[in-house]
């Protein structure tokens, strides 16, 4: 039982109150889902549960938090290790040792658990999360999904009563995310562990939740209750819930199965969408038979395809399938071992400095890496200077993307979504022909994601080609992109999203699943189709 | 002998790490001999043995690949030593290799002569000396590339566990830090302005510091919430032990000064004894109250003994100069090459 009694929290004496007068009781064995915008205080709320806030983060706490009888004010996080297990946002950064087994032993060793008990706990836990065969493996060679499992197992060995996770699936490809969520569900059902998890992408996780904790941000009142009663008040919702709201489906379906009850009677009357195959535009860039090797790994294996002017292309595939390498090769940042990269009859690897900007705009996985100045104003001035543009050009351009920000603040103080839009607008100043984005929606809430989608759609109409490497099928659906699906460095599917996503099992948008076998991709398409049928 | 040793190694089939202590004795023994030896044939022999062992035995992990950094440092040392000879060297004779203009610094600056003639004798001496330094560096740091850093930590006594952990984590951060730096530098080039010059490079530090600080905070939070630093002690006792440790160290400082001034000073001597016992007591106590247990104890078996023994024989052979040079050089090579035959197979995940 976790009890919040009149809890308020602020990081500094005079700074904004993050959480105001929060009262709640979370029952044992429940799956609690925390939702809210970026920067609303979700992570702070999670940190309060094991006392990381304020013991480690600093800050001022009013009220009482009691976790299975322990008051977090009088116990440090280390004293609660056997009660609350915490899995952070980036599991890799939290690893202390070098192999799976040592990592699982670490927490037990710290607490002086007897060797025999330790061995047994490690055995059982590794069985539970599917790490039995990986115990001897080094942590650094594991895939992101396996690393997430290790992070979960490394706190489960303590037999905690509560498990707290911050965005456990945001960096994972859909199959890996599915597996991790399956593990979490088993923990609540079979071991009765309470789970508190914060997530941005709700389409997969919402169906597992017993209880929703909605953090609206800016110190507004936090809503707690069962999912069905809270979800109508939440403006962040997965596609099916948004559709249900628009069509007034009651009770709100939370998963595809529940949505099928509403869609089944409709399917007969709905007509599939037939889009004319896109007219053949001019080709912007071509990869022919491209192979890239790193040391002894084949990253790309004989890849050939071309990108047309104004086309949006989505590169999908598991972690490590070669998506980022493909993007870097398209931009000429990696030179292929075999094969050719052609961009308007040029080799992008030979473009330098200013020339590069005129052809290619690249937004890397960490957009903040491009931001090196101390204020956004300086950032804009630098761009003007590099590109030889009149003073203020970039600033005006950035204002179109981010009308609300102050230009005197430090770029790293912006939210992740804002940093992304800032870098995107900066690279767009030179009106490049090709925009490349690597995992742009990671860590973005639905608002920020929608903003990004709108901007990318505008690019499409103005004839700029966009290539996105992503795990986010909803993004691909909204963009109506052509999909290149990678596996082990080779292309296994290449075609319009409507065809590729419909045939795939792992990479299917929620709406498509709900309306299968119909070929609808987005909320708007579903609403239109239903209205058309009357 | 080789055949015997090989069969011995295959008998010992279990995959495990060689005890870090054995690796460190091996490396430091080689380094010690390199410092003491004058003959550069000896340095070549040691260096060849160490490099072959590292090359053949290095594990497949980021810290295992740091050997290339080591080589670069070694080459830089040789180059640097040669440059010093070029700039400050005195002409000893031999054919003239390079004639630079000579600058005589004024007397109040030490009257040093800069530049001038670089003779073959001087250059050769500098090269030999540089190679000696490089051998010492390679030998002394080779063990770090052969065992996981946290394994060394396991072999430390409980009481200084924390201090060891901090060091290991700091060392472990280096590869990620350099990977970050490369990533950020690459990304920065995407703005269309290649990063050149000191000022631009300093700007690059910003995101680098940001990401490494974030990582450090993540790690410390993860450690704390998994029970790191939990003790059986209450706060009062913990503070008392800490106080006695710091007090002991302070006393040690004063007493060493006293004793050095006058070795027969009774106050100095008694303070020295007091401080040492206070430090020992607090280390023992804090080790005793630590909750820590260890899942896998490091094994110290016959391969470790043999490797340490052969390193010791190597040092003795080199120092005693009991063998003629022609026999000494291969003998030394074999003494420091033994880990190839003796050290057990490393765990599977780390094999190349």
Contact A94/B at CB under 8 A: yes
Please tell me what DSSP assigns to residue A292: E
Q: State yes or no: pLDDT of B337 exceeds 70.
A: yes
Residues in chain A, how many? 534
Secondary structure of A303-341 as H, E, C letters:
EEEEEECCCEEEEEECCCCCHHHHHHHHCCCCCCCEEEE
**Residue found under tokens 């003796």:** B342
Contact A86/B at CB under 8 A: yes
At residue A24, the 3 state secondary structure works out as strand
Say what the ipTM of the complex is: 0.85
Q: Which pair of structure tokens corresponds to residue A169?
A: 């699936």
Say if residues A456 and A479 touch (Cβ distance below 8 Å): yes
DSSP E strands, A333-489: 338-343, 360-363, 434-438, 465-469, 482-487
Q: Of the candidates B149, B186, B225, which has its C-beta nearest A81's C-beta?
A: B225
Domain spanning A284-365+430-533 has what CATH number?
A: 3.40.50.300
Q: Of the candidates A118, A155, A370, which has its C-beta nearest B187's C-beta?
A: A370
Mind giving me the DSSP string for B14-26? S--PPPHHHHHHH
The pLDDT, as a whole number, for residue B42 is: 92
CA distance A450 to A432: 23
Secondary structure of A231-290 as H, E, C letters:
HHHCCCCCHHHHHHHHHCCCCCCCCHHHHHHHHHHHHCCCCCCCCCCCCCCCEEEEEEEE
Q: How many CB atoms lie within 10 A of CB A12?
A: 9
Residue ranges of domains in chain B: 2-148+298-350, 156-225, 235-289
The pLDDT, as a whole number, for residue B194 is: 59
Please tell me what DSSP assigns to residue A253: P
- Model confidence pLDDT, tens digit, residues B2-38: 444 443 444 445 788 889 889 999 999 999 999 988 8
Q: Kindly list the residues from chain A whose CB atom is less than 8 angstroms away from the CB atom of residue B290.
A: 112
Minimal C-alpha gap between B253 and chain A (Å) = 33
Residue ranges of domains in chain A: 2-83+160-254, 284-365+430-533
Q: Kindly list the residues from chain B whose CB atom is less than 8 angstroms away from the CB atom of residue A52.
A: 221, 224-225
Interface A–B counts its CB contacts (< 8 A) at 166
Contact A406/B at CB under 8 A: no
Q: Kindly list the residues from chain A whose CB atom is less than 8 angstroms away from the CB atom of residue B221.
A: 52, 56, 77, 86, 88, 94
Band of pLDDT at residue B172, cut at 50, 70 and 90: low
CA distance A212 to A201: 14
B268's CB contacts (< 8 A; 6+ apart) are B255, B257, B258, B259, B261, B262
* Weakest-pLDDT range from A386-395, B150-159, B181-190: B150-159
**Residue found under tokens 């598991």:** A318
Share of chain B above pLDDT 90, in %: 22
Could you tell me the pTM of the whole model? 0.82
Q: Kindly list the residues from chain B whose CB atom is less than 8 angstroms away from the CB atom of residue A369.
A: 183-184, 187-188, 207
- Model confidence pLDDT, tens digit, residues B192-204: 765 666 777 777 7
Q: Of the candidates B184, B204, B295, which has its C-beta nearest A109's C-beta?
A: B295
Contact A117/B at CB under 8 A: no
Which fold does the domain A2-83+160-254 belong to in CATH? Rossmann fold (3.40.50)
CA distance A439 to B184: 17
Say if residues A484 and A306 touch (Cβ distance below 8 Å): no
- Model confidence pLDDT, tens digit, residues A476-493: 999 999 999 999 899 999
B166's CB contacts (< 8 A; 6+ apart) are none
Say if residues B344 and B12 touch (Cβ distance below 8 Å): yes
Say if residues B275 and B246 touch (Cβ distance below 8 Å): no
Contact B207 A371 (CB under 8 A): yes
- Model confidence pLDDT, tens digit, residues B54-98: 988 888 877 777 777 788 888 999 999 988 888 887 777 778 888
Low-confidence ranges of chain A (pLDDT < 50): none
Helical axes A393-401 vs A416-428, angle rounded to 10°: 140
Contact A368/B at CB under 8 A: yes
Q: How many CB atoms lie within 10 A of CB B160?
A: 14
Q: Which pair of structure tokens corresponds to residue B310?
A: 């052969």
**Residue found under tokens 């022609």:** B326
A154's CB contacts (< 8 A; 6+ apart) are A103, A104, A106, A107, B226
The residues with which A138 forms a beta bridge, in sequence order, are A99
CA distance A456 to A476: 11
Minimal C-alpha gap between A265 and chain B (Å) = 50
Contact A99/B at CB under 8 A: yes
Q: Which pair of structure tokens corresponds to residue B297?
A: 């104890």
Return mean pLDDT, chain B.
81
Of the two residues B349 and A313, the one the predictor is more confident about is: A313
Q: Which residue of B has its CA nearest to A122?
A: B295
The pLDDT, as a whole number, for residue B5 is: 44
CA distance B254 to B270: 11
B120's CB contacts (< 8 A; 6+ apart) are B94, B95, B96, B97
CA distance B161 to A368: 36
Which range scores top for mean pLDDT: B169-173, B221-225, B256-260? B221-225
C-alpha of B97 from chain center = 36
């Amino acid at each position: 039982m976790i009890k919040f009694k009149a809890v308020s929290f602020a990081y500094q004496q005079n700074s904004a109150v993050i959480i105001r007068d929060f009262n709640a009781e979370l029952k044992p064995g429940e799956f609690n889902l925390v939702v809210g915008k970026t920067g609303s205080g979700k992570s702070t709320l999670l940190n309060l549960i094991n006392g990381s806030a304020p013991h480690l983060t600093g800050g001022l706490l009013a009220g009482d938090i009691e976790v299975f009888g322990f008051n977090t004010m009088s116990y440090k996080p280390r004293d609660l290790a056997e009660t609350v297990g915490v899995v952070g946002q980036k599991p890799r950064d939290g690893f202390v040792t070098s192999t799976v087994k040592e990592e699982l032993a670490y927490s037990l060793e710290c607490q002086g658990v007897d060797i025999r008990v330790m061995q047994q706990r490690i055995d059982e836990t590794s069985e539970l999360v599917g790490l039995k065969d990986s115990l001897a493996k080094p942590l650094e060679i594991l895939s992101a999904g396996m690393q997430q499992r290790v992070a979960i197992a490394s706190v489960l060995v303590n037999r905690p009563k509560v498990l707290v996770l911050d965005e456990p699936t945001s960096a994972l490809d859909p199959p890996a995310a599915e597996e991790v969520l399956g593990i979490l569900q088993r923990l609540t059902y079979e071991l009765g562990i309470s789970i508190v998890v914060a997530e941005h992408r709700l389409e997969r996780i919402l169906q597992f939740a017993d209880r929703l904790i909605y953090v609206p941000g800016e110190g507004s009142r936090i809503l707690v209750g069962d999912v069905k009663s809270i979800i109508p008040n939440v403006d962040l919702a997965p596609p099916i819930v948004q559709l249900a709201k628009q069509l007034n489906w009651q009770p709100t379906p939370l998963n595809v199965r529940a949505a099928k009850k509403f869609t089944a009677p409709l399917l007969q009357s709905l007509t599939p969408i037939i889009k004319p195959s896109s007219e053949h535009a001019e080709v912007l860039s071509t990869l022919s038979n491209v192979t890239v090797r790193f040391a002894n790994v084949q990253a790309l294996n004989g890849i050939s395809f071309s990108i047309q002017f104004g086309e949006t292309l989505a590169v999908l595939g598991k972690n490590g399938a070669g998506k980022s390498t493909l993007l870097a090769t398209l931009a000429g940042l990696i030179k292929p071992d075999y094969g050719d990269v052609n961009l308007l009859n040029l080799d992008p690897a030979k473009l330098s400095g200013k020339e590069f900007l005129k052809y290619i705009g690249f937004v890397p996985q960490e957009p903040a890496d491009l931001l090196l100045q101390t204020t956004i104003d300086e950032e804009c001035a630098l761009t003007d200077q590099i590109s030889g543009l009149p003073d203020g050009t970039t600033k005006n351009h950035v204002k179109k993307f981010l009308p609300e920000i102050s230009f005197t603040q430090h770029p790293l103080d912006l939210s992740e979504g804002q940093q992304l839009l800032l870098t995107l607008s900066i690279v767009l100043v030179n009106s490049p022909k090709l925009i490349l984005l690597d995992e742009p929606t990671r860590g973005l809430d639905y608002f920020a994601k929608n903003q990004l989608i709108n901007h990318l759609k505008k690019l499409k109409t103005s004839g700029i080609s966009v290539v996105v490497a992503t795990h986010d099928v909803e993004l691909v659906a909204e963009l109506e992109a052509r999909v290149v699906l990678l596996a082990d460095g080779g292309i296994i599917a290449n075609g319009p999203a409507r065809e590729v996503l419909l045939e795939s099992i792992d990479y299917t948008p929620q709406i498509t699943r709900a309306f299968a076998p119909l070929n609808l991709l987005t909320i708007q398409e579903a609403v239109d189709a239903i209205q058309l049928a009357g | 002998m080789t055949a015997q040793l090989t069969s011995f190694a295959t008998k010992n089939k279990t995959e495990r790490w060689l005890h870090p202590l054995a690796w460190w004795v091996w490396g430091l023994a080689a380094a010690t001999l390199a410092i003491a030896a004058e003959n550069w044939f000896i340095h070549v022999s040691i260096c060849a043995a160490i490099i072959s062992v590292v090359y053949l035995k290095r594990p497949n992990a980021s810290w295992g690949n740091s050997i290339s950094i080591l080589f670069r440092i070694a080459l830089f040392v040789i180059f640097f030593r040669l440059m010093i000879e070029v700039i400050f060297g005195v002409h000893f004779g031999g054919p003239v290799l390079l004639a630079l203009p000579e600058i005589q610094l004024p007397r109040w600056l030490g009257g040093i002569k800069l530049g001038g003639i670089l003779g073959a004798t001087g250059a050769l001496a500098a090269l030999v000396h540089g190679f000696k330094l490089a051998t010492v560096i390679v030998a002394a740091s080779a063990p770090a590339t052969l065992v996981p850093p946290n394994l060394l930590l396991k072999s430390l006594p409980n009481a200084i566990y924390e201090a060891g952990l901090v060091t290991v984590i700091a060392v472990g951060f280096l590869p990620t830090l350099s990977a970050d730096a490369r990533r950020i530098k690459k990304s920065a080039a995407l703005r269309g302005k290649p990063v050149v010059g000191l000022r631009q490079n300093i700007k690059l530090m910003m995101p680098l510091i940001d990401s490494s600080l974030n990582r450090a905070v993540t790690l410390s939070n993860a450690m704390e919430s998994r029970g790191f630093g939990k003790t059986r002690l209450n706060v009062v006792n913990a503070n008392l032990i800490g106080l006695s440790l710091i007090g002991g160290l302070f006393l040690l400082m004063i007493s060493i000064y006293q004793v050095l001034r006058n070795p027969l000073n009774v106050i100095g001597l008694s303070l020295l004894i007091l401080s040492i016992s206070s430090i020992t007591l607090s280390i023992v106590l804090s080790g005793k109250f630590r909750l820590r247990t260890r899942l896998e104890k490091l094994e110290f078996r016959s391969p470790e003994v043999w490797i340490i023994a052969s390193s010791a024989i190597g040092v003795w052979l080199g120092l005693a100069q009991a063998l003629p040079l022609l026999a000494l050089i291969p003998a030394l090579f074999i003494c420091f090459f033994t880990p190839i035959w003796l050290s057990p197979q490393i765990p599977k995940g780390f094999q190349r």
